[in-house]
Structure 1
Amino acid sequence: MYLYRRWLLLLVLLSLPAQGLAAPSRVALFLPHSPTAFWQQLVRVMADAGDDFGMELEVHYGEDDHQRYVRQIQLRLQQPSKPDFMVFKPYKKTTRAILDLAEAARVPTITFNTLPFDSERLLLGQPRERYRYWLAEFAPDDEEGGYDLARYLIQVAKQRQPSGVEQQITVLGINGPVAEMPARLRYEGLKRAVEEDPLVELLQVVNVDWRRSEAHRVVGKLLRRHQQISVIWTAADVLALGGADLLAERGAGPAFPVIGGFDWVPEVRSHIRAGRVQASVGGHFFEGAWVMVVIHDYLMSGELDDLDVRYLSGMGLLVPENIDQFSALFNDEDLGVDFRRFSRVMNPLLMQYDFSISTLVESP
């Protein structure tokens, strides 16, 4: 019966004239930050997915001011022409206030990019539990990403040791602000990787703002304090770039330390090709596209039963060995991905969503 309903819905959609689907749904995206390279990538991919589904995307940036962020959302939801859907990133414990606004405006909402803090969760509950219009939450698997990055960097550091020698691998961590959930989860992944290997020692982890200059300054101080460093693990590409800048200025040799981060930003991709950075975990800017897939399917079917309350989107490890394989996903002109093939409404045989990076690379 369930599969029959989905086939019936697809037949109805296909039978409609083009103008029948023309009243485009408007999705309002709220980001608490400024439009950095990562967020620009995410918005571009999200807009591409919206085009595939005939949906319009409007984007608002909060410029790292949490009060401005909430006020911005409040003013938008008070306008006579409300968005059909709202998507926002939880930021500095503003989630409850924003969900209250969405509930009052009766605007269906999805949170994405990170999960609320545990302390917030006690007040919020799960999507659809206390807030009827909070339909789902998306987040990258940051803990697994932190683990994968650490494991790869440790492996590369070991490969650079003299043949037949097993020396201690020493790790420095440059993490983001302690108040940010992605930083916390990525650090948990780092810790897990270190604890698994008796030959690895985590010397120190320092929390900084997501700024290149901060990483440059801190890495300089840490290299003066710790003489032998094998790995510099960072929680963002912007931090990896700051560390790589410092190493280049000091004329660091090709062997140590190895360095990596998160986000797949364009400059890091060129650094990976040149050997100045060894790895980047990323692809989570595609999460915006996955959100649009789910929004489309919900708007078309109206079936909450088909909608999970939480989606953990996968990330990929970008390294010299696979950077060419992923290169098509970095095309500014055409991603070459038709996001309609990930819709369960448009593809009734799909029993579940596949929001992995590998499925994009394999996409025809």
Structure 2
Amino acid sequence: MSVVMVNPSVKDDPFWRKVEQLTQEAATQLGVHFEVIYGEGNRFAQLDVLKRYLEYRATPDYLILINYPGGAEQSLSMLSKYNIKFVTLEQTISGAERTAIGHAGEHFKNWLGEIYHDNFKAGYLLAKTLTQTLQQPKELVKPILINGHYGSESDARSDGAKAYFKEQGIDVAQTVFAAWSKDQAMEKTEKLMKRYPDTNLIWCASDLMALGSETALRQSATTSHVAIGGFDWLDDALAFIEKDKLSASVGGHFMMGVWALISLYDYHHGNPYWATHQKMEFDLEAITKDNIAQFSAIRQSKEWEKIDFRALTLTHSGQKDYQVIHRFDELLHSLK
């Protein structure tokens, strides 16, 4: 069986590189022919590279991709033309575009299912975790929010953060957008700290932007403690948590490519999961200095080959559902 994954970013993106590497390891163990093409972080580029691949290469059995807002219907129509079965990662489409494409199997019969986490819950979790690490009375918590871009994924994350702060009676000074960019996060953090000098919590929609905020504070020689956190469990972010330079990172979704591949493997071998389900949803977890020792294996790629990915399939485990998808710690315990 052959599977192509459309990495929506560039080859050097640290988060998607980890997604890709883990999925490749699972494919190797399962005997799946696996290829990756790159969307270059742009919906037009992704649509073009997918179009060129399908025009000039052998048609794969299955495909894994993220729907880019503004390009979803064109991408899914193209896959239907070539009769390729596929699963999508993340829930990135909303509004009229979501109505147009529907849900898995509704308008596009080859769309087997969606694999995603709840970004609202994840944003709420990061806000709660950062607040707790401050160990300050609620009236002394002064947050700012650095979002990714204007889109459903990043908006859901920031909406979750805002919901938590509202519940706690904590006022958010300002929310800005930094386009998932470390450089933009640096620049905007510098300006925001001048505007709100009593800020002591910086919630970021990604670890890369959190690293940008940390750099800005370090360059300004800020002496007061500021709790900073993001998403993705990047290796650099986890190293900074160990050094008390960052306070938290929410993640676990770097496994979503693996679960997509495993679900396609099971489908290919006759398992009815995608015949009876439209989605596979999982929760993310927060890493802080208090629990980071439990997650050392995710930073050591040499350890990934010790994970028994065959045991995570329904085909070989005999399970009826992907129970492990909700428990990242069980994956770590599968290390031999």
TM-score normalized with structure 2 length: 0.94
Count of matched residue pairs: 332
1:190 aligns with 2:165: no
Partner of 1:275: 244
Structure 2: stretches of 5+ with no match in the other structure: none
Displacement of 1:323: 1.0
> SS in structure 1 opposite 2:109?
coil
Does structure 1 retain, via aligned residues, the 8 Å contact 2:69–2:92? no
2:108 corresponds, among 127, 131, 140, to: 131
More off after superposition, 229-238 vs 347-356: 347-356
Describe how 1:252-271 pairs up with structure 2 within 5 A: 252-253=222-223, 255-271=224-240
Describe how 1:108-127 pairs up with structure 2 within 5 A: 108-127=85-104
More off after superposition, 28-37 vs 289-298: 28-37
CA distance in 1, matches of 2:94, 2:50: 20
1:151-178, CA deviations, whole angstroms, 9 ceiling, x for partnerless residues? 0111122x1x4xxx66431110000011
Q: 1:287 to 1:266 in 2, by over 3 A?
A: same
Q: 1:79 to 1:91 in 2, by over 3 A?
A: same
Q: 1:127 to 1:113 in 2, by over 3 A?
A: same
Partner of 1:95: 72
Q: 1:190 to 1:60 in 2, by over 3 A?
A: same
1:75 aligns with 2:38: no
More off after superposition, 338-347 vs 349-358: 349-358
> SS in structure 2 opposite 1:345?
helix
CA distance in 2, matches of 1:67, 1:351: 36
Does structure 1 retain, via aligned residues, the 8 Å contact 2:123–2:161? yes
Q: 1:171 to 1:93 in 2, by over 3 A?
A: same
1:112-139, CA deviations, whole angstroms, 9 ceiling, x for partnerless residues? 1333223211111111111111111112
> SS in structure 2 opposite 1:202?
coil
CA distance in 1, matches of 2:206, 2:156: 13
Q: Counterpart of 1:215 in structure 2: which amino acid?
A: A
CA distance in 2, matches of 1:69, 1:251: 41
Q: CA RMSD in A?
A: 1.7
Partner of 2:140: 168
> SS in structure 2 opposite 1:28?
strand
More off after superposition, 97-106 vs 27-36: 27-36
Displacement of 1:313: 2.6
Does structure 2 retain, via aligned residues, the 8 Å contact 1:136–1:307? no
Partner of 1:178: 150
Partner of 1:314: 283
Q: 1:351 to 1:268 in 2, by over 3 A?
A: closer
CA distance in 1, matches of 2:194, 2:31: 55
Does structure 2 retain, via aligned residues, the 8 Å contact 1:50–1:56? yes
Partner of 2:2: 26
Displacement of 1:349: 3.7
1:6-54, CA deviations, whole angstroms, 9 ceiling, x for partnerless residues? xxxxxxxxxxxxxxxxxxx111111232120011000001111111211
Does structure 2 retain, via aligned residues, the 8 Å contact 1:237–1:263? yes
Q: Counterpart of 1:344 in structure 2: which amino acid?
A: L
Does structure 1 retain, via aligned residues, the 8 Å contact 2:7–2:20? no
CA distance in 2, matches of 1:151, 1:352: 28
Q: 1:285 to 1:196 in 2, by over 3 A?
A: same
> SS in structure 2 opposite 1:333?
helix
Displacement of 1:67: 2.0
CA distance in 1, matches of 2:271, 2:58: 21
Structure 1: stretches of 5+ with no match in the other structure: 1-24
Q: Counterpart of 2:164 in structure 1: which amino acid?
A: A
Q: Counterpart of 2:251 in structure 1: which amino acid?
A: G
CA distance in 2, matches of 1:80, 1:176: 34
Displacement of 1:219: 0.5
Does structure 1 retain, via aligned residues, the 8 Å contact 2:148–2:178? yes
Does structure 2 retain, via aligned residues, the 8 Å contact 1:216–1:245? yes
CA distance in 2, matches of 1:238, 1:175: 11
Does structure 1 retain, via aligned residues, the 8 Å contact 2:324–2:330? yes
Q: Counterpart of 1:324 in structure 2: which amino acid?
A: A
Displacement of 1:84: 0.8
Does structure 1 retain, via aligned residues, the 8 Å contact 2:147–2:175? yes
Partner of 2:41: 64
1:241-260, CA deviations, whole angstroms, 9 ceiling, x for partnerless residues? 0100011112222x521100
Q: Counterpart of 2:141 in structure 1: which amino acid?
A: I
Query: Percent identity among equivalent residues?
Result: 25
CA distance in 2, matches of 1:192, 1:344: 37
CA distance in 1, matches of 2:114, 2:37: 19
Q: Counterpart of 1:169 in structure 2: which amino acid?
A: V
Partner of 1:219: 189
More off after superposition, 115-124 vs 213-222: 115-124
Partner of 2:208: 238
> SS in structure 2 opposite 1:317?
strand
CA distance in 2, matches of 1:250, 1:209: 22
CA distance in 2, matches of 1:242, 1:202: 20
